[in-house]
Amino acid sequence: MERSNLRTGYDRLVPIAVIVILFAGLWPALEVLSERWLKFDESYSHGFMVLVVSLALTLNKWVRLKPRVDAYPLWLLPLCIASLVYLAGSILLIEAAQQLALLPLVLGSFLLIWGWEQTKPFFLPLGILTFTIPVWDYVSWPLQVITVSVNDFLLSFFNIEFYVEGVFVYFPGVGAFEIAHGCSGLRYLLVGLTLSLLYGELNYSRVRTRAALIVAGILLALVANWIRVFVIIYIGYESNMTSSLINEHDFFGWWVFAGTLVPLFFFARWLEGTEPPLTTQGSFSEGGVRKTTSLIPMAILVFGPLVLFSATALALDARQHQKRLAQTLPSLEPLLERDQWLPLFRSDLNGWAPVVRNPDAYRVDVYLERETATENEEVRLEALSALYVYNYQRPGSELVSYNNRLFDRALFIPEETFEIDAGDGNRFRGMRLRLRQSGTQLYVAYGYNVEGRWESDELRAKLAQLPGIFNGRTDASLLALGVSCERCNGRAVIDKLMPLLRTRAEHQLDRLIEKRD
């Protein structure tokens, strides 16, 4: 009896100790994750709710199944691989690598003490946390493209003059809609996947039934977003961009998504009728006490790698944090020559300037071309050059995020997009904007520099962090140029100025990195 009580206490305490060690070692990544979950206008605002559900399901299975603790050395290899991925992310400042390694580290640790058969029932309760990890942003661009194609098809049935270019839908004489990151439907897709997976875990025993519900959940989540975007575009067109629905589309979107849940749960209920009755699995201890490894070797095998990983991860994070705090970027220099351009004491160009949060260094200058410096407003040529630099990307200071925007959509309407030759084979993007109140037009162009590599769109700017592994750089920057004039060709002015600005910005960024290193 005494040995049995000792064994029972051991089976309970070891998993708790493993969780505590993992929590300590993974704390830097968990802190970043919690900050993303607290951003309620992003795709991961359901994170804490899913965490509570996951913990409740996991605890329920642990109490009911009573898994037996032992040492399973075979699972040391995948655990070590996940640890190396996480540590590499810490060293190279790649948060995506750290976040991708979180669940493999947790599951690998349980596989080490429980083995495959005992850990398998915990895969789904823990696996739903996959839909709360901020690595799904990389599928946002394909979802945007699909949404644009669907709305192009739907609008073709109406007697409306429009054309589509990239992720913009243009209505001549009215304005344009951008199918932006938030319109991709990613948040509805993740919530739909989570609900479908949870319902299947609680009510189904067959894999094919669960798969059918998940497919239905994906399709209905996408349909909800397509309906939302189409209704907003159509009402915006009919109201000449004055409808309040345009600025309140988030609330409208959740109502549409809630409506699509009705047929989803009717379908889920019907699938239950095709399932055999659920059977409750008994505890693993009912089969008798199996022979286990002696306590000391087992403790060394189980806790040794975990303690070593946690200590290394914390040490790396502390070292990197100290290094980051010690790095301060020098001030940036003007990008246009003052012998040709007269500086103006303003921070925007007709109300326009990029919206960039928490850069480590930035420079925004507004100029008037000296040759056009007359009292005649129609011939004046004004330009705004902006360079925003992040020494390294972290939560709240990311180059591509919901908080950063090229223009304020409440003030400006995009009317045209085009490409810009920025020199040396680099292609930037440009657009023509119209001020909502006055109708004033201006031309802007922009490009992203991520770890020494120029990119023209947000998705490529995200992916550009991967090649940076090989050059040791962690910086990320936005270069933007805007011009305003009534009688000149604004696009031609941008074509002329942008290669010069890109070259000077590139030289400044290279010098910043040299001084930092």
For the chain, the average pLDDT equals 82
Residue 446 — very low, low, confident or very high, per pLDDT cuts 50/70/90?
very high
The answer to whether residue 504 is domain-embedded is yes
Mean pLDDT of 230-259: 80
Q: How many other C-beta atoms can be found within 10 angstroms of the C-beta atom of residue 307?
A: 13
* pLDDT at residue 372, as a whole number: 83
* pLDDT at residue 135, as a whole number: 82
Q: Is the pLDDT of residue 468 over 60?
A: no
The answer to whether residue 498 is domain-embedded is yes
Residue 1 — very low, low, confident or very high, per pLDDT cuts 50/70/90?
very low
Q: 13-27, 83-97, 226-240, 499-513: which range is least confident on average?
A: 83-97
The answer to whether residue 329 is domain-embedded is no
Are 256 and 301 in a shared domain? no
Q: Is the pLDDT of residue 152 over 80?
A: yes
Q: 104-118, 241-255, 358-372: which range is least confident on average?
A: 241-255
Decide: 474 and 93 in contact? Cβ < 8 Å.
Answer: yes
Q: 70-74, 116-120, 436-440, 502-506: which range is least confident on average?
A: 436-440
Mean pLDDT of 217-222: 94
Q: Is the pLDDT of residue 122 over 90?
A: yes
* pLDDT at residue 374, as a whole number: 74
The residue count of the chain comes to 517
What is the DSSP annotation of 165-184?
A: ETTEEEETTTEEEE--GGGS
Q: Is the pLDDT of residue 472 over 70?
A: no
The answer to whether residue 480 is domain-embedded is yes
Mean pLDDT of 76-82: 88
Residue 264 — very low, low, confident or very high, per pLDDT cuts 50/70/90?
very high
Give alpha helix (H) positions in 134-206: 140-155, 186-203
Query: What are the backbone dihedrals phi and psi of residue 432, each rounded to the nearest 5 degrees, phi first?
Result: -105, 125
The answer to whether residue 327 is domain-embedded is no
The CA distance from 146 to 128, in Å, is 25
Mean pLDDT of 192-221: 91
Percent of the chain residues past pLDDT 90, beyond the cut:
29
Contacts 24+ apart (CB under 8 A), 314-323: 314/24, 314/25, 314/27, 314/28, 316/87, 316/90, 316/91, 317/28, 317/90, 320/90, 320/91, 320/93
Cβ within 8 Å of residue 247, ≥6 positions away: 410
Q: Is the pLDDT of residue 214 over 90?
A: yes
Residue 449 — very low, low, confident or very high, per pLDDT cuts 50/70/90?
very high
Decide: 89 and 153 in contact? Cβ < 8 Å.
Answer: no
Structure tokens at 239: 């109201």
* pLDDT at residue 12, as a whole number: 83
Mean pLDDT of 176-196: 85
Are 62 and 166 in a shared domain? no
* pLDDT at residue 66, as a whole number: 87
More confident residue, 295 or 500: 500
Structure tokens at 486: 């009534």
**Cα 481–486–491 angle (5° rounding)?**
40
* pLDDT at residue 222, as a whole number: 93
Decide: 445 and 428 in contact? Cβ < 8 Å.
Answer: yes
Are 314 and 360 in a shared domain? no
Are 129 and 143 in a shared domain? no
Q: Is the pLDDT of residue 325 over 60?
A: no
Are 14 and 74 in a shared domain? yes
Per the structure, the complete domain to which residue 43 belongs is given by: 2-134+292-318
The CA distance from 368 to 95, in Å, is 42
More confident residue, 364 or 439: 364
* pLDDT at residue 457, as a whole number: 82
Q: Is the pLDDT of residue 104 over 70?
A: yes
List Cα–Cα distances, 123 to 115, 118, 420, in angstroms: 12, 10, 49
Are 307 and 363 in a shared domain? no
Q: Is the pLDDT of residue 244 over 80?
A: no
The answer to whether residue 285 is domain-embedded is no
CA dihedral 493, 495, 499, 505 (to 10 degrees): 60
Are 76 and 161 in a shared domain? no
Residue 470 — very low, low, confident or very high, per pLDDT cuts 50/70/90?
low
Q: 83-97, 114-128, 293-307, 482-496: which range is least confident on average?
A: 293-307
Are 125 and 236 in a shared domain? no
**Cα 420–423–425 angle (5° rounding)?**
90
Bridge partners for 432 per DSSP: 416, 443
* pLDDT at residue 156, as a whole number: 87
Q: How many other C-beta atoms can be found within 10 angstroms of the C-beta atom of residue 441?
A: 17
Q: Is the pLDDT of residue 487 over 90?
A: no
Q: Is the pLDDT of residue 48 over 90?
A: yes
The CA distance from 461 to 449, in Å, is 8
* pLDDT at residue 248, as a whole number: 66
* pLDDT at residue 289, as a whole number: 43
Decide: 217 and 200 in contact? Cβ < 8 Å.
Answer: no
Amino acid at 226: W
Q: Is the pLDDT of residue 517 over 80?
A: no
**Cα 385–391–397 angle (5° rounding)?**
80
pLDDT per residue as tens digits for the range 281-320: 666 665 544 545 555 555 666 666 666 667 676 666 655 5
* pLDDT at residue 395, as a whole number: 65
**Radius of gyration of the chain from its Cα atoms, rounded to whole angstroms:** 28
Are 126 and 152 in a shared domain? no
Structure tokens at 9: 């206490």
Mean pLDDT of 104-116: 90
Are 357 and 465 in a shared domain? yes
Name the domain boundary from 318, 352, 377.
318
Residue 415 — very low, low, confident or very high, per pLDDT cuts 50/70/90?
confident
Are 101 and 188 in a shared domain? no
More confident residue, 288 or 218: 218
Cβ within 8 Å of residue 376, ≥6 positions away: none
Residue 364 — very low, low, confident or very high, per pLDDT cuts 50/70/90?
very high
Residue 55 — very low, low, confident or very high, per pLDDT cuts 50/70/90?
very high
The CA distance from 509 to 515, in Å, is 10
The CA distance from 150 to 139, in Å, is 17
The answer to whether residue 471 is domain-embedded is yes
Q: What is the DSSP letter of 400?
A: S
Structure tokens at 163: 């054309």
* pLDDT at residue 485, as a whole number: 87
* Three-state DSSP state, 242: coil
Mean pLDDT of 185-192: 91
Helix (H) or strand (E) holding 3: helix 2-25
The answer to whether residue 494 is domain-embedded is yes
Domain count, the chain: 3
The CA distance from 453 to 466, in Å, is 11
Mean pLDDT of 113-141: 88
Are 82 and 186 in a shared domain? no
Helix axes 27-37, 295-326, angle to 10 degrees: 60
